[in-house]
């Protein structure tokens, strides 16, 4: 995959410089819509893609930010979730419960970030990189809440699917609790809701024990 | 479609009050991923859905906001595009070049907004309604820029598709210019880029004359 999407039909020559780079990037990130996650949709019998997921996370930030234990800047938290999965355009999705794939994840995503963000003008490339780094490092309240949303929505999707990836990846209730602990770390209220969902899912047999 | 998605598998009883309403809404809006637009993706041979489109618009706001003729608050503009299509969950997508469907659009979307936003706690319901109204009224710089992005991305998608909905809906270059004038109204720079794309598309035969 050495070609950019826009290379198949280059923009008119009248569009140049900074704007040409920005439009090239915006066309290239269309690929995020083709990166499939393991999560099943609640609204249709198919898997979710990263662009849909990123939009849903942004909505979750807007609706649930009041439950963050530490106050968060909603606008900045939304930007974190909008860009947090961009590297998967080249690195692919790494399922939460696929431990083998998770070993090589960092290296693959580093290479993808370097390649993708370089399409933008230098200042914006750096800004995207900073947003991605902030999300990954989880050192700010915004990054911690963004990560909590990234763990909460799959819990809701698996609940609606009566098992979903919990059963597909043979994850026990304890394993699910361990991998979604960032919810409880960012919000006691949402953490309690998570606890209720996992406990009831376990009772129903929607986790692997 | 009288049933909510969550009614097929109600959340545990321990989740109550305000949070239960918010999670009910977040599960229900999963439906946005099933509302198909006419626009073809650049990255795959299929049509785009509203959730993907809303994410792409948010990215376009983040990357292109510097070109707005009037300064815009990026965080608020992003929120406008995240919610602008939610009413289509119940009202369906109304293609830009489908004039018959556009006649009943306002009434269908009003009913959808009343139904969907009512799922949220009252203060958030009103906030969602205000964001949607702001987007539709285009009286703020943020709303005008959000609308410009909503017109610009289909231009890029149709360019990449060598015609796309321009040919599907028999739209002439003049017709396309008329229906995307909000780009030029919000940004002279992006308007010029739009002009280049439409002029070259017309030369290539990717518009209907």
Predicted confidence (pLDDT) per residue in A150-169, tens digit = 999 999 999 999 999 999 99
Taking all residues of chain B, what is their mean pLDDT, rounded to a whole number?
A: 96
| Chain A residues inside the 8 Å CB shell of B59 | 26, 29, 82-83
List the structure tokens of B152.
């610009």
Is the pLDDT at B96 greater than 80? The verdict is no
Is the pLDDT at A97 greater than 80? The verdict is no
- What's the CATH code of the domain at A160? 1.10.3210.10
Look at A5 and B160 and tell me if their CB atoms are within 8 Å: yes
Using CB atoms, pick whichever of B9, B63, B79 lies closest to residue A159: B9
DSSP letter (8 states) at residue A37: E
Query: What is the reported pLDDT for A102?
Result: 84
Residue A37 domain-assigned? no
Confidence of residue A125 (pLDDT cuts 50, 70, 90): very high
Name which residue leads in pLDDT, A99 or B200.
Answer: B200
Is the pLDDT at A1 greater than 70? The verdict is no
Residue A72 domain-assigned? yes
| Chain B residues inside the 8 Å CB shell of A11 | 159, 196-197
ipTM exceeding cut-off 0.90 for this assembly: yes
Domain holding A114, by residue range, is 14-30+46-204
Is the pLDDT at B95 greater than 90? The verdict is no
Structurally, how many domains does chain B consist of? 1
| Chain A residues inside the 8 Å CB shell of B162 | 9
A20: closest CA of chain B, how far (Å): 9
Residue of chain A nearest B74, judged by CA positions: A75
Residue A36 domain-assigned? no
Residue A8 domain-assigned? no
Confidence of residue A2 (pLDDT cuts 50, 70, 90): low
| Chain B residues inside the 8 Å CB shell of A43 | 5, 30-31, 33-34
Residue B104 domain-assigned? yes
Residue A109 domain-assigned? yes
Name which residue leads in pLDDT, A106 or A190.
Answer: A190
Residue of chain B nearest A152, judged by CA positions: B23
Q: How far is CA A59 from CA A63, A75, A167, B16, B82, in A?
A: 6, 11, 27, 20, 7
Is the pLDDT at B83 greater than 90? The verdict is yes
Using CB atoms, pick whichever of A34, A59, A189 lies closest to residue B19: A189
Query: What is the reported pLDDT for A100?
Result: 82
Query: pLDDT (tens digit, 9 = 90+) per residue, B17-60?
Result: 999 999 999 999 999 999 999 999 999 999 999 999 999 999 99
Residues A23-28 have a mean pLDDT of: 98
Residues A190-205 have a mean pLDDT of: 98
Is the pLDDT at B2 greater than 80? The verdict is no
Give the 3-state DSSP-derived string for chain B, with helices as H, strands as E and coil as C.
Answer: CCCCHHHHCCCCCCCCHHHHHHHHHHHHHHHHHHCEEEEECCCCCCEEEHHHHHHHHHHHHHHHHHHCCCCCCHHHHHHHHHHCCCCHHHHCCCCCCCHHHHHCHHHHHHHHHHHHHCCCCHHHHHHHHHHHHHHHHCCCHHHHHHHHHHHHHHHHHHHHCCCHHHHHCCCCHHHHHHHCHHHHHHCHHHHHHHHHHHHHHHHHCCCCC
Residue B181 domain-assigned? yes
Residue B3 domain-assigned? no
b vs e for B110-120, b when ≥16 Cβ sit within 10 Å of the residue's Cβ? eebbeebbebb
Is the pLDDT at B159 greater than 80? The verdict is yes
b vs e for A111-124, b when ≥16 Cβ sit within 10 Å of the residue's Cβ? ebbeebbebbbeeb
């Amino acid at each position: 995959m050495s070609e950019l999407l826009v290379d198949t039909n280059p923009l008119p020559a009248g569009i140049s410089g900074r704007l040409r780079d920005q439009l090239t990037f915006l066309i290239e990130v269309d690929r995020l819509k083709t990166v499939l996650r393991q999560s099943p949709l609640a609204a249709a019998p198919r898997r979710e893609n990263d662009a849909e997921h990123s939009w849903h996370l942004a909505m979750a930030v807007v609706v649930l930010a009041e439950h963050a234990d530490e106050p968060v800047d909603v606008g900045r938290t939304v930007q974190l979730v909008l860009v947090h999965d961009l590297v998967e355009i080249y690195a692919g999705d790494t399922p939460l419960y696929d431990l083998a794939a998770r070993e090589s994840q960092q290296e693959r995503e580093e290479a993808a970030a370097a390649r993708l963000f370089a399409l933008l003008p230098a200042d914006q490339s750096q800004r995207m990189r900073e947003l991605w780094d902030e999300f990954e490092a989880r050192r700010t309240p915004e990054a911690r809440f963004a990560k909590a949303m990234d763990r909460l929505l799959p819990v809701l999707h698996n609940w609606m699917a009566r098992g979903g990836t919990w059963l597909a990846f043979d994850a026990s209730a304890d394993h699910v609790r361990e991998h979604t602990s960032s919810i409880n770390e960012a919000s006691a209220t949402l953490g309690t809701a998570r606890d209720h969902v996992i406990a009831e899912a376990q009772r129903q047999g929607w986790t692997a024990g």
